[in-house]
Amino acid sequence: MTVVGPAEKHVLIDGRRLAYVDFGGEGIPLLTLHGHFGRARMFAPLAAALAPAYRVISLEQRGHGHSEGDGDFSREAYVADAAEFLHRLDLGPVIALGHSMGGVTAYQLAARHPDLVRALVVEEAGALNRRPEVPHPVLDVRAWPRRAATLRELRGQVEARGIPDASYFMESAVEYPDGWGFLFDYADMMNSQQALVGDWWHDWLGSRCPALLVHGTDSFILSTAMARRMAERRPNTVLRELPGCGHWVHDDDPDGFAEVVRDFLAAATASR
């Protein structure tokens, strides 16, 4: 079926609405998973760069964007959503690509549902998400403004609370009847971040499919030492380090990010 994209859609899973963006085409399906506070549409530049060979389908994960949550932000819940989403759309096996928290979801999906994942791309997601490996694994958003008169004011208030550049977060800002605010619930995001703190080596090492690990050498989340250790310990894994990039490699160097992903996928899909 030809999809004219991008198309914003939703599915119902256990009575909950999960939103997603289908960027269209008839290429190899590629599931993308954003990180905490993210949106499905953040992968639009990558989708354009990979078309028409790949059809990017971006899931808005529970409690983010226009997807509903049910109070459960465990790793099991996130992985179950992704697996059921693929079953509903009859898409597996897919290439699974995730950033940060979404990267952990992606490699846990590959480990726990190997029949659904043919190749793995992990951007800036470590096997250990805890202190001291990650100095600040939880961003405290409890004191962030609930509403602001303007979008500019909302951004200014967030940046005044220690965020140098709030561009990533502003993708989730919308106008409500009483002012500008975010789509995500602050308490939910705190619970979700806490649930991500832990040792996930078992899941990182639990799959056998080809994997690409993308690391920004200026990242404050994933250290270069950890990225190299992850690549060394997991067979069939390629590490690509992008100098001058931080945690959001896809924003810091969108062309470079697309290039390393495209090159990896060309080799991984050809080998299968």
- pLDDT tens-digit series, residues 9-57: 999 999 999 999 999 999 999 999 999 999 999 999 999 999 999 999 9
Range of the domain at 101: 7-134+198-271
* Domain co-membership, 172 together with 71: no
Q: What angle do CA 243, 244, 247 make, to 5 degrees?
A: 95
Q: 227 lies in a domain? A: yes
pLDDT band at 3 (very low <50, low <70, confident <90, very high): very low
* Domain co-membership, 173 together with 225: no
The pLDDT of residue 4 is above 80: no
Find the mean pLDDT for residues 155-176: 97
Q: Decide which of 178, 196, 214 is a domain's last residue.
A: 196
pTM of the model: 0.96
Number of domains in the chain: 2
| Cβ contacts of 128 within 8 Å, gap of 6 or more | 134, 198, 199, 200, 201, 226
111 token code pair: 């480990």
List, for residues 177-231, the tens digit of each pLDDT value. 999 999 999 999 999 999 999 999 999 999 999 999 999 999 999 999 999 999 9
Q: 2 lies in a domain? A: no
List, for residues 75-119, the tens digit of each pLDDT value. 999 999 999 999 999 998 999 999 999 999 999 999 999 999 999
* Domain co-membership, 13 together with 99: yes
